[in-house]
Amino acid sequence: MKRTFADLHMRLNSKEPPHAAQFASKVAELGYRLIAIPLAPETKAQEIQKLKAAFSDEGVDFVSRVDLHPRTPDELLGSLRRLRRKFEVICVLSENKEVSRQAAKDRRVDLLNFPLLDYRRRFFDRAEAELASAGVAGFEVDVKPLLVLQGPARVRFLSCLRREAALALEFHVPVVVSSGVSQLLLLRRPREMALLGLLFGLPSGSVLDTVSVNPGGLVERNRKKLEAGFVAPGIRLVRQSGDC
């Protein structure tokens, strides 16, 4: 079966129509059919629909995403209550342990991303992986540092990723490989992105799933949840009593 390749973390400016058209053409040329760009929390629904239309013209499915940078667990909970029904993907960029733990166990969080390169500030440890395995959050790896870091810094980062990827695999937490890039020149083809996963220990037999099956399944699950009749997994509201 043909794969639908995805990149859920392209950090490029696509809000202006000319930029959106240029960007959509480029990602389609590279082979992506599903992409997400972090949007501001206050982005209006009409703006999201315009972006979806611009990318659809190039055969690319645009996914609305918001990145949260909460400083406390309470701030995270407030943002989730306010934004969960507005965006198709919610990612928490964790920079402290308390927020990381809360995000891992909250089923409204789709992706856990650890943007800091300092291994002492990356909190995807055994406890974090166990909490995530009980929830639905995936572990997102941005490959941008692998493209721009050099020397010892790159070696240290790879060491962190190997440890974190091993924990994700042990606890069956889905790994999503994304670009995390903010320049068109740094974009890579989906298979090239996936192969970078071999550098930090992802199995060769399933490495392509990190840029297709895993992100695609996450988006499909969330879109079903956002449908009007959704009540809970496996439960849908067909009609209300007044309709009978």
Neighbouring CB atoms inside 10 A of 199's CB total 14
Q: Domains in the chain and their CATH numbers?
A: 6-243 (3.20.20.140)
Q: Which of 205, 172, 222, 209 is closest to 6 using CA atoms?
A: 209
Global confidence as pTM: 0.89
Burial-class residue 150 by CB neighbours within 10 Å (0-12, 13-18, 19+).
exposed
Measure the CA–CA gap between 194 and 106, rounded to whole angstroms.
28
> One digit per residue, pLDDT tens: the chain, 244 residues?
689 999 999 988 766 556 778 888 999 999 999 999 999 999 999 999 999 998 999 999 999 999 999 999 999 999 999 999 999 999 999 888 999 999 999 999 999 999 887 777 788 999 999 999 998 899 999 999 999 999 999 999 999 999 999 999 999 999 999 999 988 888 999 999 999 999 999 999 999 999 999 999 999 999 998 986 544 455 655 566 555 4
Q: 140: part of which helix (H) or strand (E)?
A: strand 138-142
Torsion of CA 92, 93, 96, 97, to 10 degrees: 50
